[in-house]
Chains A and B, each alone.
Chain A
Amino acid sequence: MKWGHWVYGAWCAVVLVYLWMANQSGYSPFGTSTSSHGGAHGGGGHGGGNRGFYHK
């Protein structure tokens, strides 16, 4: 693939743009943002916490 390095270069450019934009906006793919409702309220109350009762 003779143009592989161009594809790779374009990919790197996309990655760099992502890194810059994400860092500037304080974005993390593993974070909870204001546009979503994660955690207990959105995910079924505190039932998740009951895991401990049945453990082992």
Chain B
Amino acid sequence: MADRGLQLLLPLSARGTFRGDEYQVKGALPRRDSKGTWTEYLLQGPLGYRWLVYDTGHWSFGVPVEDPSELVIESGVRYQGREYRRFRSGTAHVVDVMGQFDWDVRKDNYCYYDDYISPPFMLTREREGRETAWTHLEYIEPAEIDAAFGIKTPPRQWICANQPNPAGVRLRRILPVFLIACAAVAIIQTVTALRARQVAFPRAVYEFGGSAEQVFGPYTFTAPRSLNELAAAADLYNSWAELDCVLVNATTGATLEFAEQLSYYTGTDSDGRWSEGSGRDLATLSTIPGGTYNLVVEGYGADQSNRRLTQPVTLELRHDVIPWSNFWIALLSIVFYPAWLVYRRRAAEKERAESSTI
């Protein structure tokens, strides 16, 4: 980029209409510092000189700060009601001089610079000898420059100092949709919860000492279509139990087969005490039509010595419970993309910080 004969993205004397004003490229200054090179294009416009700064796929439009007394310089800079934080400092060397400049600028000239950022804006202070110049830059999307000057800007390689965080921009754009969707999820779930009948039927007990197949009920499901739960619990110790259940519609004879599986084991080994499993299980019975049902249960179970289980299993049938799984699935589905954008935004800021010298 530093060599003479460099292909400038904006040819000298090129004209373009940008934000309502026509500009002509008068000169180009390729410059470099310890971190890389960039090109500053001097534009002549209706309001005087302006700058277009190109840096690895990024463009910024610069306007000289005419009245530096407007700048409030502390650890950062406050300018026109906006806070700018110091981002980097260095020494910028002029690599080449192309075109016309109304002031004395030569190859190998150098200046000290300080960049202060508040994306999409940046303030740059350049000090050369006793002279200090401030420039206010605004990040411009490459497509805007491409359209203005009829060029094709190369793809951006990384986030630049004053580029608005792409993920942050997307996040702001979807934020209203996200909030509305979250509110809608909350409302739907609240309505569902308020309408759920949540009927808990009297507890039933399956006794292993009785007949293998035992019938419980009748249970009347009043909701036209409902989510129901059958909780099974037994006081197990190094034993297992399985209940093969059939929910039978007393009117239509339709059946729903499911199983409850319980096992609890504990012991001691070289790592100390261990335990696995639970004496509880929960079967979720989905989209059950309204009607009267009987519950037919056939149980099996044994302890470690293969002796038949003696502990009873308590059964609790709950009708028309609140379907929380749908709520969590919906919420995760809605949160996933914004969460990914938050991650991407943080990654981009980390990348931006890597080019900072502060």
**Chain A interface residues toward B at CB < 8 A:** 1, 4-5, 8-9, 11-12, 15-16, 18-20, 22-35, 37-43, 46, 48-53, 55-56
Q: CB within 8 A of B246: which of A12, A41, A46, A56?
A: A41
Tell me the chain B residues, 160-212 only, with Cβ under 8 Å from chain A: 170, 173-174, 177-178, 180-181, 184-185, 188-189, 192
Please give me the residue from chain A that is nearest to B274 by CB atom: A56
* Complexed CA–CA distance, A40 and B207 (Å): 19
Counting from the closest, the 8 A-B pairs by CB-CB distance are A31-B286, A39-B259, A52-B240, A49-B242, A31-B284, A39-B258, A12-B181, A26-B227
Q: List 8 A-B contacts (CB under 8 A).
A: A19-B326, A25-B287, A31-B285, A31-B286, A33-B256, A40-B259, A41-B257, A46-B244
Judged by DSSP, the binding face of A is helix
Contacts of B241 in A (CB 8 A): 49
**Chain B interface residues toward A at CB < 8 A:** 170, 173-174, 177-178, 180-181, 184-185, 188-189, 192, 223, 225-228, 239-242, 244-246, 254, 256-259, 261, 263, 265, 267, 269, 274, 276-277, 283-289, 300-302, 304, 306, 320, 323, 325-327, 329-330, 333-334, 337
Check A38–B257 contact: CB distance below 8 A.
Answer: yes
* Complexed CA–CA distance, A15 and B245 (Å): 33
Check B301–A34 contact: CB distance below 8 A.
Answer: no
Interface centre among A8, A9, A23, A25 (most CB of B within 10 A): A23
Please give me the residue from chain A that is nearest to B223 by CB atom: A26
CB distance from B219 to the nearest CB of A (A): 15
CB distance from A53 to the nearest CB of B (A): 7
Q: CB within 8 A of B330: which of A19, A24, A51?
A: A19
Check B244–A32 contact: CB distance below 8 A.
Answer: no
Number of A-B contacts (CB under 8 A): 159
Q: CB within 8 A of A27: which of B244, B257, B287?
A: B287
Q: CB within 8 A of A8: which of B276, B288, B329, B337?
A: B337
Q: CB within 8 A of B240: which of A4, A41, A51?
A: A51
* Complexed CA–CA distance, A46 and B245 (Å): 11
Check A33–B188 contact: CB distance below 8 A.
Answer: no
* Complexed CA–CA distance, A22 and B225 (Å): 10
Check A33–B286 contact: CB distance below 8 A.
Answer: yes
CB distance from A49 to the nearest CB of B (A): 3
* Complexed CA–CA distance, A19 and B183 (Å): 13
Check A46–B242 contact: CB distance below 8 A.
Answer: yes
